[in-house]
Amino acid sequence: MAVDLSKLDSDLRSIIDERFDDQVNWLARLVSLDSTRGNEAPCQAWLASEFAARGWGVDQFRISDVEIVGKRGYSPAVDVDYDKAVQVVATLPNDAPDGRSLILQGHIDVVPPGARELWERPPFEPHIEDGFMWGRGANDMKVGVAEIVFALEALKGLGFEPAGQVYVETVSEEECTGNGALATLERGYRADACFIPEALNNQLLRAELGSVWFRVRVLGKPGHVLNFNRASNAILAAYDYVADLEALTRRINEEAKTHPWFGHIENPVKFSLGKIQGGDWLGSVPSWCEIECRLSVLPGHPLEQVRQRVLDCIKVSAERIGSAQTPTLTWIGFQADGHVFEPGSDAEATLARSHETVFGSPLETFSQTATSDTRQYDLYYGIPTLCYGNRGYDSHSPRERTDLKSMAETTRVIALFIADWCGLRPVQS
Ligand SMILES: [Zn+2]
């Protein structure tokens, strides 16, 4: 049946506002489940039971159940047990699909809280103040999962179900490899479009940077500290490698000035030294140091080329520093391409209509200097993928918070999108 968006929106608004407290409580429950890497299973089990209770078919599987190594989009996973990495795909019952299909996806993995002293309240005890929910993962992106579920619930409450086939996916590994999303694709789940409601201030993701993660193991010349010099101290030598990697980043940012999607952003490419460890004993010159780093990748810059530049940089540094040996470099996480969501798709036009119906203003797009799961569906599997979600602030920090009014508005946008994209029909059962 043809969908009258503005009529539907006024009905959606009533029902979503009516159920606002339920949605907030549901989100709070989700945020209270610590789903940092390796600990996602209880959170996924809760979601699986929530989905099953709604009559959705639930496929709960582990990344290790799917062959993903070497597949396009695969990133090496180290120090992690994929037997524990549970993914959930819910299939909405639909005996006779009659419309376009859709994947609604949210990642439930969250980044570690970091220093607890910097948190005013425990990270996994969600707290509501002035219209915001605070807590690790509230904004990035458990709120998106709550929007997906309550959008579908709102349509059902109005007596409708999507005519096309809908899948709801909750994945892990978004924050480090993207292998959760890849596992759902390799398990066979595909659709005519994918929608990932990352909290992006109600703007559509037009372009994003990829990233590479790597570990550099620097060796020194062990001995008594009496014989100390900078080159033989592996920890101090590591700082010199970092300085040279920062110089490489400045060169790439010079090249970025003419980039079609990132030229307007100052220094879009970020190098980050994220972890460092080394040495064993204060009376000995540190014989080893490991630094773990992340470098952004511009769309159009092939991963292989970026990796080669990092390798060359380390090699040249080793010569300059006078190291006895070139450090070993290991790729340890994200090997993610930068990516552009090309303008002009039907999916974008559909979202633009939904957005405009709710907000009364045109949909804006932006380039993000971070990485999402979008590339897995869009770039590697040819599924047009929208990344768009509510307003929120300070993800990955102790001040992470999500705007709950914006959650309700975005739930409307998503429900309208489902209606417009998949078509609607009266609930069958
Ligand atoms: Zn996210």
Cα 194 to Cα 167: distance, rounded to the nearest angstrom? 9
Cα 351 to Cα 417: distance, rounded to the nearest angstrom? 6
100 and 238 inside one domain: no
Q: Which helix (H) or strand (E) holds 11?
A: helix 5-18
139 and 11 inside one domain: yes
148 and 168 inside one domain: yes
124 and 31 inside one domain: yes
pLDDT at 1 over 70: no
pLDDT-wise least confident of 16-20, 90-94, 245-249, 319-323: 319-323
Cα 102 to Cα 418: distance, rounded to the nearest angstrom? 8
Which CATH number does the domain housing residue 281 bear?
3.30.70.360
Residue where a domain stops, chosen among 306, 336, 366: 336
319 and 343 inside one domain: no
CA of 134 to the centre of ligand 1 (A): 15
Which CATH number does the domain housing residue 406 bear?
3.40.630.10
Looking at every residue in the chain, the average pLDDT score rounds to 96
CA–centroid distance for 145 within its chain: 13
CA of 356 to the centre of ligand 1 (A): 24
16 and 137 inside one domain: yes
pLDDT grade for 223, boundaries at 50, 70 and 90: confident
CA of 154 to the centre of ligand 1 (A): 24
88 and 150 inside one domain: yes
pLDDT grade for 3, boundaries at 50, 70 and 90: confident
Residue where a domain stops, chosen among 336, 357, 376: 336
46 and 170 inside one domain: yes
16 and 155 inside one domain: yes
Task: Render pLDDT for 399-410 as a digit per residue (tens, 0 to 9).
Answer: 999 999 999 999
CA of 108 to the centre of ligand 1 (A): 8
Task: Render pLDDT for 164-176 as a digit per residue (tens, 0 to 9).
Answer: 999 999 999 999 9
Supply φ then ψ for residue 16, to 5 degrees: -70, -40
Q: 109-131: b or e for each residue (b if 16 or more CB lie within 10 Å)?
A: bbbebeeeeebeeebbebeeeee
Decide: residue 382, CB within 10 A, 0-12 exposed, 13-18 middle, 19+ buried: exposed
Cα 338 to Cα 283: distance, rounded to the nearest angstrom? 45
What is the count of structural domains for the chain? Answer: 2
pLDDT grade for 224, boundaries at 50, 70 and 90: confident
Residue where a domain stops, chosen among 336, 357, 387: 336
CA of 235 to the centre of ligand 1 (A): 33
Task: Render pLDDT for 152-165 as a digit per residue (tens, 0 to 9).
Answer: 999 999 999 999 99
pLDDT at 231 over 70: no
pLDDT grade for 228, boundaries at 50, 70 and 90: low
- Residue 310 pLDDT: 98
Single-letter amino acid, residue 77: A
CA of 197 to the centre of ligand 1 (A): 9
Decide: residue 41, CB within 10 A, 0-12 exposed, 13-18 middle, 19+ buried: middle
89 and 232 inside one domain: no
Task: Render pLDDT for 250-279 as a digit per residue (tens, 0 to 9).
Answer: 999 999 999 999 999 999 999 999 999 999
CA of 72 to the centre of ligand 1 (A): 21
Task: Render pLDDT for 55-87 as a digit per residue (tens, 0 to 9).
Answer: 999 999 999 999 999 999 999 999 899 999 999
CA of 107 to the centre of ligand 1 (A): 7
55 Cβ neighbours under 8 A, 6+ residues apart: 93, 429
123 and 98 inside one domain: yes
278 and 388 inside one domain: no
- Residue 221 pLDDT: 81
Q: Which helix (H) or strand (E) holds 420?
A: helix 404-422
Range of 248's domain? 210-336
pLDDT grade for 222, boundaries at 50, 70 and 90: confident
Task: Render pLDDT for 342-378 as a digit per residue (tens, 0 to 9).
Answer: 999 999 999 999 999 999 999 999 999 999 999 999 9
Q: How many C-beta neighbours within 10 Å does residue 335 have?
A: 22
404's tokens? 């709950």
223, 217 in Cβ contact below 8 A? no
pLDDT grade for 324, boundaries at 50, 70 and 90: confident
Cα 351 to Cα 357: distance, rounded to the nearest angstrom? 10
- Residue 321 pLDDT: 85
- Residue 97 pLDDT: 96
- Residue 153 pLDDT: 98
- Residue 175 pLDDT: 96
Task: Render pLDDT for 329-338 as a digit per residue (tens, 0 to 9).
Answer: 999 999 999 9
Q: What DSSP string runs through 268-293? A: ---EEEEEEEE-S-TTB---EEEEEE
- Residue 27 pLDDT: 98
pLDDT-wise least confident of 31-45, 218-232, 379-393: 218-232
